């Protein structure tokens, strides 16, 4: 990245957030009228969900019952209720007492976002009904009422007066136990929302869920409640980490079947590998397009020493030894690839790593005893990887702990969770150290970094090797979860994550250099293809479009880096001259 890029970033970054949204609202109405209109619209939307929206149960979720909302109606109901509370929380002049905490900023943007989210969800539902059943004729009056009411709400919200952004008033001091209780409640709620999302039984419900959660989250931050919660979690870091871990551990216990537990294990593997890639891309700024190969090396190593009947090695390592072997193999592979390539810069590195990723896949496809030495069974891969048994605990069977049952995938989930936590720890500790700062310095300006005494090649190699090792770790678990490894799991781009392109997308979409970013990005990128089966052929197209939109409107990713947030410390000033380092850069690349 050249400083010129940063300058562009600075421009857009401040452009779409710091500029106060003053001026007249889109629809001119007296403020009180606007508020009443919004409130009535939201109330009407809420009530409409108790009416039937369609006549037949052919549309999933049963939207035909009077007095009992079902399926997508519940989402509209939630959205409308939230909009209503926001209107009340910001009601003139100071908001309804008791509800003010819901919107500490006192701005109407949150209401607007919620109204838009409710409208999007409701209209999406109506369109989905018409599309699935063949025509608007399938809508009952209740459906029309819902659509009109949601539109009224948005109209009202658009007429609400704009207020400039200003610093939040100080939060009311709560006793420490209450703050901790709030954190616990938030995580409980998050778990509930996540379980609901993963458990959505049909594509329409998942889309509605995504729409509503997206808008609600945006509203949460627009209203200032998000900032309040962030402050709280920063103040109680340990509690927050524990709460996150407990939530994650509790997840499989909320599931009755293994179906969704399998999804979440895969998300966890994907997310862990993405976090490993984040060391390479997010911290050191090395564009690695063949990262999935390291996952493959770990998985193949673990499969070979797993005692699988199909393994050509016929040895059975205990799991800890398999993990160490897999990680070590990945490390060696990382160094072997990194040592010659890391002397290259930018684009060249990306192309070479892309090539190496493909070479890995093709090579394991050829090590079948015919076109190469017999090691990996070629395209057939290594099937029948036995379940893990650690200290007599068989991961392949159900275990009962009192009234709780742990299914096989729940076992693997908990094991993978341990590795995810480990990778999170490694990432945060490495990132926040002398080595991590050197990585960021290299990412920012490699010439300046070397002039500050940083051995660029050596540090890039460390980042590359660490990234490879972390992916290898995840690979050893993946082999056992999938029961089989085949070369086609480790492609550059494909419909099923993790592959190199999706890994990179998870990092960039989530937020480079952050911990939560890639985790969230991976969850979204895994769930969306898994839930929206109807997209199938268009999946990569939709994925590309989403990335373009994101880069246009939120180049820093969903979760911006802490450093990016600092941008708003003060009014931005021109950071001085652009890069005249090109001469130096070229010469150094040649040297």
Partner 1 sequence: MTTTTATTAPVLTATGVTMRFGGLTAVRAVDLTVREGQIVGLIGPNGAGKTTFFNCLTGLYTPTEGTVTFRDTVLPPKPHLVTQAGIARTFQNIRLFANMTVLENVLVGRHTRTKEGLLSALLRGPAFRRAEKASEDRATELLAFTGLAAKRDHLARNLPYGEQRRLEIARALASDPGLLLLDEPTAGMNPQETRDTEGLVLAIRDQGTAVLVIEHDMRFIFNLCDHVAVLVQGEKLVEGTPETVQRDERVIAAYLGTPFDGAPGEAEAAEVQAAEAHAAEETDR
Ligand X SMILES: Nc1ncnc2c1ncn2[C@@H]1O[C@H](COP(=O)(O)OP(=O)(O)OP(=O)(O)O)[C@@H](O)[C@H]1O
Task: Name the segment binding partner 1 (CB under 8 A); options: 38-46, 381-389, 439-447, 529-537.
Answer: 439-447
Q: How far is CA 359 from CA 341, 349, 465, 490, in A?
A: 14, 15, 18, 11
Closest by CA to 269, choosing from 140, 420, 159, 124, is 420
Task: Supply the minimum distance, in Å, between the C-beta of residue 285 and ligand X.
Answer: 23
Residue 226 or 581: the one with the smaller Cβ distance to partner 1 is: 581
What's the DSSP call for residue 400?
Answer: E
C-alpha–C-alpha distance, residues 271 and 496, integer Å: 14
Q: Is 397 in the site for ligand X (CB under 6 A)?
A: no
Interface pattern 520-559 for partner 1 (x via CB under 8 A): ----------------------------------------
C-alpha–C-alpha distance, residues 455 and 451, integer Å: 9
Residues 552-591 that bind ligand X (CB under 6 A): 583, 587
Task: Name the segment binding partner 1 (CB under 8 A); options: 313-321, 447-455, 473-481, 494-502.
Answer: 447-455
Binding residue (CB under 8 A) for partner 1 from 436, 475, 497, 560? 436
Q: Which residue pairs from 96-104 have beta carbons closer than 8 angstroms and sit at least 24 positions apart in sequence?
A: 101/172, 101/225, 101/228, 102/223, 102/225, 103/223, 103/224, 103/225, 104/168, 104/169, 104/171, 104/223, 104/224, 104/225, 104/227, 104/228
Q: How many CA atoms are closer than 13 Å to the CA of 98, on its beta-carbon side?
A: 1
Residue 96 or 589: the one with the smaller Cβ distance to ligand X is: 589
Task: Supply the minimum distance, in Å, between the C-beta of residue 578 and ligand X.
Answer: 15
Other C-beta atoms closer than 10 Å to the C-beta of 251 total: 21
Q: Assess contact for 242 and 250: CB atoms under 8 A.
A: no
Task: Supply the minimum distance, in Å, between the C-beta of residue 447 and partner 1.
Answer: 7
Chain Cα centroid distance, residue 362 = 30
Place of tokens 């939560």: 516
Residue 542 or 584: the one with the smaller Cβ distance to partner 1 is: 584
Q: Is 370 in the site for partner 1 (CB under 8 A)?
A: no
User: Is residue 393 helix, strand or coil?
Assistant: strand
Residue 23 or 583: the one with the smaller Cβ distance to ligand X is: 583
C-alpha–C-alpha distance, residues 358 and 335, integer Å: 17
Task: Supply the minimum distance, in Å, between the C-beta of residue 431 and partner 1.
Answer: 9
Residue 100 or 585: the one with the smaller Cβ distance to ligand X is: 585
Task: Supply the minimum distance, in Å, between the C-beta of residue 438 and partner 1.
Answer: 6
Binding residue (CB under 8 A) for partner 1 from 6, 236, 343, 399? 6
What's the DSSP call for residue 283?
Answer: I
Q: Is 471 in the site for partner 1 (CB under 8 A)?
A: no
Binding residue (CB under 8 A) for partner 1 from 450, 484, 516, 539? 450
Binding residue (CB under 8 A) for partner 1 from 287, 448, 535, 547? 448
Q: Which residue of the chain is nearest ligand X when measured via CB?
A: 583
- Among ligand X, partner 1, none, residue 366 binds (CB under 5-8 Å by kind): none
Cβ contacts of 391 within 8 Å, gap of 6 or more: none
Q: Is 91 in the site for partner 1 (CB under 8 A)?
A: no
Cβ contacts of 70 within 8 Å, gap of 6 or more: 61, 62, 63
Binding residue (CB under 8 A) for partner 1 from 231, 309, 433, 533? 433
Task: Supply the minimum distance, in Å, between the C-beta of residue 230 and partner 1.
Answer: 17
Cβ contacts of 148 within 8 Å, gap of 6 or more: none
C-alpha–C-alpha distance, residues 451 and 9, integer Å: 25
Q: Is 56 in the site for ligand X (CB under 6 A)?
A: no
Task: Supply the minimum distance, in Å, between the C-beta of residue 19 and partner 1.
Answer: 17
Residues contributing to the site for ligand X (CB under 6 A): 583, 587
Residues contributing to the site for partner 1 (CB under 8 A): 3, 6, 10, 425-426, 429-430, 432-438, 440-441, 444-445, 447-456, 462, 466, 561, 563-564, 566-567, 569-570, 572-581, 584, 587-588, 591
């Amino acid at each position: 990245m050249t400083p010129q890029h940063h300058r562009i970033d600075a421009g857009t970054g401040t452009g779409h957030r710091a500029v106060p949204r003053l001026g007249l609202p889109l629809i001119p109405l007296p403020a009180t009228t606007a508020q009443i209109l919004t409130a009535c619209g939201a109330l009407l939307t809420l009530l409409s969900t108790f009416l039937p929206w369609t006549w037949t149960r052919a549309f999933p979720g049963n939207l035909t019952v009077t007095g009992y909302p079902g399926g997508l109606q519940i989402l509209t109901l939630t959205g409308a209720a939230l909009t209503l509370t926001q209107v009340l929380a910001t009601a003139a002049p100071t908001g309804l007492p008791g509800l003010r905490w819901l919107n500490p900023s006192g701005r109407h943007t949150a209401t607007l976002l919620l109204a838009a989210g409710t409208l999007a969800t409701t209209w999406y539902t109506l369109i989905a009904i018409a599309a699935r059943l063949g025509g608007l004729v399938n809508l009952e009056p209740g459906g029309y009422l819902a659509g009109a009411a949601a539109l009224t709400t948005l109209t009202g919200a658009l007429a609400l007066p704009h207020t400039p952004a200003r610093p939040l008033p100080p939060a009311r001091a709560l006793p420490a136990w209450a703050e901790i209780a709030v954190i616990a409640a938030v995580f409980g709620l998050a778990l509930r929302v996540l379980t609901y999302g993963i458990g959505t039984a049909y594509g329409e419900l998942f889309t509605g869920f995504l729409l509503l959660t997206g808008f609600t989250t945006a509203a949460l931050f627009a209203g200032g409640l998000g900032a309040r919660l962030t402050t709280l979690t920063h103040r109680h870091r340990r509690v927050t980490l524990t709460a996150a871990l407990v939530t994650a551990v509790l997840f499989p216990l909320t599931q009755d079947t293994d179906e969704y537990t399998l999804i979440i294990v895969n998300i966890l593997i994907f997310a862990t590998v993405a976090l490993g890639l984040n060391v390479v891309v997010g911290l050191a700024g090395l564009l690695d397009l063949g990262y999935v190969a390291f996952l493959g090396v770990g998985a193949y190593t673990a499969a070979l020493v797993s005692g699988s009947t199909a393994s050509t090695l016929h040895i059975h390592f205990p799991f800890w030894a398999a993990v160490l072997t897999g990680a070590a193999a990945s490390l060696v592979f990382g160094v072997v690839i990194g040592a010659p390539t890391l002397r290259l810069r930018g684009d060249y590195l990306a192309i070479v790593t892309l090539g190496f990723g493909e070479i890995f896949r093709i090579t394991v496809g050829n090590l079948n005893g015919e076109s190469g030495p017999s090691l990996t069974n070629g395209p057939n891969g290594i099937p029948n990887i036995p379940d893990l048994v650690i200290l007599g605990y068989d991961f392949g069977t159900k275990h009962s702990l009192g009234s709780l049952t742990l299914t096989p995938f729940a076992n693997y989930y908990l094991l993978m969770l341990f590795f995810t936590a480990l990778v999170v720890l490694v990432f945060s500790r490495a990132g926040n150290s002398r080595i991590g700062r050197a990585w960021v310095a290299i990412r920012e300006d490699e010439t300046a970094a070397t002039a500050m005494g940083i051995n660029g090649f050596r540090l890039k190699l460390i980042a590359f090797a660490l990234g490879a090792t972390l992916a290898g770790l995840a690979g050893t678990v993946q082999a056992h979860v999938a029961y089989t490894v085949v070369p086609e799991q480790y492609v550059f781009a494909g419909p099923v994550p993790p592959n190199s392109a999706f890994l990179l997308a998870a990092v960039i979409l989530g937020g480079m250099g952050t911990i939560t970013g890639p985790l969230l990005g991976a969850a979204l990128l895994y769930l969306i293809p898994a839930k929206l089966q109807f997209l199938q052929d268009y999946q990569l197209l939709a994925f590309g479009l989403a990335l373009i939109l994101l880069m246009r409107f939120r180049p820093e990713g969903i979760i911006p880096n802490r450093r990016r947030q600092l941008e708003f410390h003060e009014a931005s000033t021109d950071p001085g001259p652009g890069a005249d380092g090109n001469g130096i850069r070229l010469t150094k690349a040649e040297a």
